[in-house]
Amino acid sequence: MNWVTVVDDEDFNRKTVSRILKKHDYIVTALESGQELLDFLFVKGNVPDLILLDIMMPDMDGFEIIKLLRERQSEGHRIPIVFLTGDSGDETEMKGLKMGAEDFIRKPIYPDVLLHRVGRIIELDRTHKSMVQEIEARSAECESLSRHVVQTLAAAIDAKDTYTNGHSDRVAAYSREIAKRYGYTEKEQDDIYMMGLLHDVGKIGVPDEIINKNGRLTDEEYKAIKVHPEIGDRILKKVKEMPKLSIGARWHHERYDGTGYPDGLKGEEILEEARIISVADAYDAMTSHRSYRDILPQEVVRAEIEKGKGTQFDPVFADIMIQMIDEDKDYLMHED
């Protein structure tokens, strides 16, 4: 049975949330303050599945509380936090997301919204933790990660996006082929395949509403999605047995001309594997269905890769990708 802790200084809000969740078989613990929550977690040792946290509270507000929690909880033991707020401003939401909140629920509370988001985040968090634990366990047993486990995690990430189907697997395959043609050893090809599979793992920390938005993102939504390379980096750096695994996750959105993110690296400052994955990722984005368009024609894709040489892409790896396109006479390299 799922266990939710709601922290709010308003008795009405605590009772409203508790009533809705208990009616659907959730266990609910209601607390009045941040200090009560800290005692509940770190003195009494309780570990709920989710914390619903009010932002505006006396003595200690929600931002102060989440900062303390994220400092004291390791990556593998972080409890997902959803803010409850009456503030509809983008600035408040962005601040919370950057500090590690999973989502926001606006007041007044609508039962269907509360139940949907609470259930989704608990399920997603369990999947994430289960996959990370499985990866770490397998890593301790052998020198390389189990491909099956990594593919399962990649599929879980792809499942967040309504409009992707096998994106991570295709990016991994294209990256491996580019690396092979460039002269990578079999072991190096296997490594970059794993990096490609998990390059988007950070999207687990981006709200579904943003990832699946049918239309252009606002500036604030774009800022939120741009956080995913740093989230992916934090997750994959925990896998000590493969220290290079996080390379693709952190730097696949860097650009060769230095205008990318999250670090604004330029040219060969960007690690080689990330430069390869960047080309593969862009190619698959253009050759996959999206809510607003179909797969782009092959000649358009080729022209875009050519156009991006030296600006978006490393020219060497862009040329290899173009070679692969030219050999694909029947245009088979795209989403099925």
Q: Which domains occur in the chain, in start order?
A: 3-123 (3.40.50.2300), 146-327 (1.10.3210.10)
Encode pLDDT of 210-233 as tens digits.
877 777 788 888 888 899 999 989
Task: Single out the catalytic residue among 203, 226, 238, 240.
Answer: 203
Would you call 203 a catalytic residue per the annotation? yes
Q: Give pTM, 2 decimals.
A: 0.60
Encode pLDDT of 273-323 as tens digits.
999 999 999 999 999 987 778 899 999 999 999 999 999 999 999 999 999
| β-sheet with 27-31: strand ranges across | 27-31, 3-7, 50-54, 81-85, 103-106
CA 84 to chain centroid, in Å, comes to 22
Encode pLDDT of 53-88 as tens digits.
999 998 899 999 999 998 887 766 789 999 998 876
Compute, in degrees rounded to 10, the torsion defined by CA atoms 133, 175, 295, 200: 30
Position 138 scores a pLDDT of 62
Grouping H, G, I as helix, E, B as strand and the rest as coil, residue 308 is coil
Residue 256 CB coordination number (10 Å):
25
DSSP E strand stretches across 32-132: 50-54, 81-85, 103-106
Residue 168 predicted with pLDDT over 70: yes
